[in-house]
Homo-oligomer: A and B are copies of this chain.
Amino acid sequence: MTNWTATLANLVAHSSPNDEAIASAKKGLLDYLASSLTAGQTETGTLLIRWFDEEGGNADIPLIGMHKNASARQAALYNGYLGHALDLDDVHTDVRGHPSTVILPALLSVAATGSFSGRRFLEAYAIGVEVMARLGLTIGAQHYTRGWHNTATLGGIAAACACAYLQRFSAEKIELAIGIAATQSSGMRNQFGTEVKPLHAGLAAEQGYVASKLTGLGLIGSKRTLDGENGFLSLYGDGTDNADALTSDWGDSWKISKPGLWFKLYSFCSAAFHAADACHELLSQDTFILEDIQKIEVIYPPGGDAALIHTHPQTGDEGRFSVEYIVALFLTNRTATLSDFNHETIPASIRQVMNKVTRQYDATIKPSPHAVPKGRFTIVRVHLENGNILESRVDAPLGSTDKPLSMDQLEQKLDDSCSEEQAVQIKQAVNGLDKAATLSELIEAVR
Contact = CB atoms under 8 A, between A and B. Distances in A.
A66 interface: no
Interface in A165-219: 179-180, 182-196, 199-200, 203, 213-214, 217-219
A190 B73 CA distance: 26
A217 B50 contact: yes
Contact of A189 (B55, B179, B230): B230
A229 B309 CA distance: 12
B183 A186 contact: yes
B214 A194 contact: no
A258 interface: no
Interface in A133-159: 146-148, 152
Given A56-B71, A185-B186, A191 B214 contact: no
B184 A230 contact: no
Contacts of A184: 186-187, 203
A264 to B, nearest CB: 23
Contacts of A235: 146-148, 188
Interface string A46-57: 010011001111
A234 interface: yes
Nearest to A186: B186
A35 interface: no
B193 A183 contact: no
Contact of A194 (B193, B213, B222, B231): B222
Contacts of A73: 55
A347 interface: no
Nearest to A56: B58
A389 interface: no
Contacts of A189: 230
Interface residues of A, number: 53
Interface string A214-254: 10011111101100111110110000000000000000000
A179 B185 CA distance: 16
A56 B60 CA distance: 11
Given A214-B51, A230-B146, A188 B225 contact: yes
A58 B47 contact: no
Contacts of A188: 182-183, 225, 230-232, 235
A44 interface: yes
Nearest to A221: B196
A72 interface: yes
A56 B217 CA distance: 16
Q: Which 7 A-B pairs have the closest CB atoms?
A: A147-B230, A196-B221, A56-B58, A186-B186, A57-B57, A147-B235, A56-B57
Interface of A: 44, 47, 50-51, 54-58, 71-73, 146-148, 152, 179-180, 182-196, 199-200, 203, 213-214, 217-222, 224-225, 228-232, 234-235
25 contacts: A47-B218, A55-B58, A55-B71, A56-B57, A56-B58, A57-B57, A146-B235, A147-B230, A147-B234, A147-B235, A148-B235, A152-B183, A183-B187, A183-B191, A183-B200, A184-B203, A185-B186, A186-B186, A188-B230, A189-B230, A190-B225, A190-B231, A194-B222, A195-B220, A196-B221
